[in-house]
Structure 1
Amino acid sequence: MSSLEQMYQQVIMDHARAAHGRGLVQVDLPAHGESHQVNTTCGDEVTLRVGLEGDTIASLSWEGQGCSISQASISVLAELLDGESLETADETYEAFRALMQAKGEPLDDDREDMLGDATAFVGVGKYPARIKCALLGWVALKDALIQARGASSSATEGDKA
């Protein structure tokens, strides 16, 4: 195993042990969403909750169980995106999906910079069964953001009535 692979493995293990954003937090914002996702292949699961203030993720928390890859990936997601704009969240989501589809090949420097610790998952792309583990939290995020954006639209329309 190369020193780079060892470093990536260490990043994943560190996030799995000391996960960022773990522990569901009550969201008292009008624009919020929650998603529960299960990887039926292995049983990993996550419930992810977001709250929006305008175009910013003001609250992001989660609770889940599963393998180190799924739990570490969700931790990295929380660390990267809590407090970020929806535009940044969308771009980061797409960059992570691209990383998973790259079959173990690194991305361009700009997307790797955007992903930060998430680049540690580059090797996961070599193992199709593990890709679902790494993407579990990201799928939950996408779903929760769709709900929150819908709640935001409904609140805005209610204000106009």
Structure 2
Amino acid sequence: MSALEQMYQQVIMDHARQAHGRGLVEIELPLVGESHQVNTTCGDEIRLRVGLDGDRIGAVSWEGQGCSISQASVSVLSELVEGESLEEADRTMDAFRDLMQAKGEPLDDDREDLLGDATAFVGVGKYPARIKCAMLGWMAFKDAVIQARKDQP
């Protein structure tokens, strides 16, 4: 294993152990959405809640169980998108989806900078069954935003 792969593995393990946003909490913002997603292949499960403050992601909290990839991925997501505009969060999600579809190849520097710790998941793209694990929290986030925006005037 290369030094870079070891570093990526450590980032994933750190996020899995000390997950950002873990602990489903009540969000005191006008627009709140929640989504429950299950990876039927392996049983990983995430319930994610998002609060919107206008066009910004005001808060993200979640609870779940599953492999270190699914848990670390939703932790990284929470850290990345909190405080972003909806447009910025969409770009971040698109970049992560591209990373998963890159089959282990790195992205361009701009998208890697945008993804921060999420670039640690580059190797996951080599294993199609694990892509679902990594994408679980991201799909929950996307759905929760849709749910929150339903209540938007």
TM range (shorter): over 0.9
Gaps in structure 1 of 5+ consecutive residues? 157-161
Q: Does 1:37 align with 2:37?
A: yes
How far off its partner does 1:150 sit? Answer: 1.5
Partner SS, residue 36 of structure 1: strand
Counterpart amino acid of residue 17 in structure 1: R
The amino acid across from 1:69 in the alignment is I
After superposing on structure 2, the runs of 4+ consecutive aligned residues of structure 1 that deviate more than 4 Å are: none
- State how far apart, in whole Å, the 2-side matches of 1:115 and 1:74 are: 13
CA distance in 1, matches of 2:7, 2:146: 34
What is the 5 A alignment of 1:4-153? Answer: 4-152=4-152
TM-aligned CA deviation for residue 30 of structure 1: 2.4
Report Cα offsets for 1:58-101 as digits up to 9, x if no partner: 11100000000000000000111111111111000000000000
Aligned mates of 1:148, 1:6 — CA distance in 2: 38
Give 1:135 shift.
0.1
Q: CA deviation at 1:28?
A: 2.6
SS of equivalent residue, structure 1 residue 33: strand
Aligned-residue sequence identity (percent) comes to 79
**AA matched with 1:74:** V
**Letter of the aligned partner of 1:147 in structure 2?**
Q
Name the aligned partner's letter for residue 90 of structure 1.
D
TM-score (norm 2): 0.98
- Give the TM-score, by structure 1 length: 0.93
What secondary structure does 1:61 align onto? strand
Q: Report the 3-state secondary structure (helix = DSSP H, G, I; strand = E; otherwise coil) of the residue aligned with 2:151.
A: helix
User: Counterparts of 1:114 and 1:28 in 2: how far apart (Å)?
Assistant: 28
Paired amino acid for 1:45: E
Q: Which amino acid aligns with 1:43?
A: G
Corresponding letter in the other structure for 1:113? D
The separation in 2 between residues aligned to 1:60 and 1:28, in whole angstroms, is 11
AA matched with 2:59:
S
Instruction: Please list the CA deviations of residues 1-48 of structure 1 after superposition, one character each: whole Å capped at 9, or x if unmatched.
Output: 000000000000000000000001102322110000000000000000
Deviation at 1:149, TM superposition (A): 1.4
| Counterpart for residue 159 of structure 1 | none
AA aligned to 2:27 is V
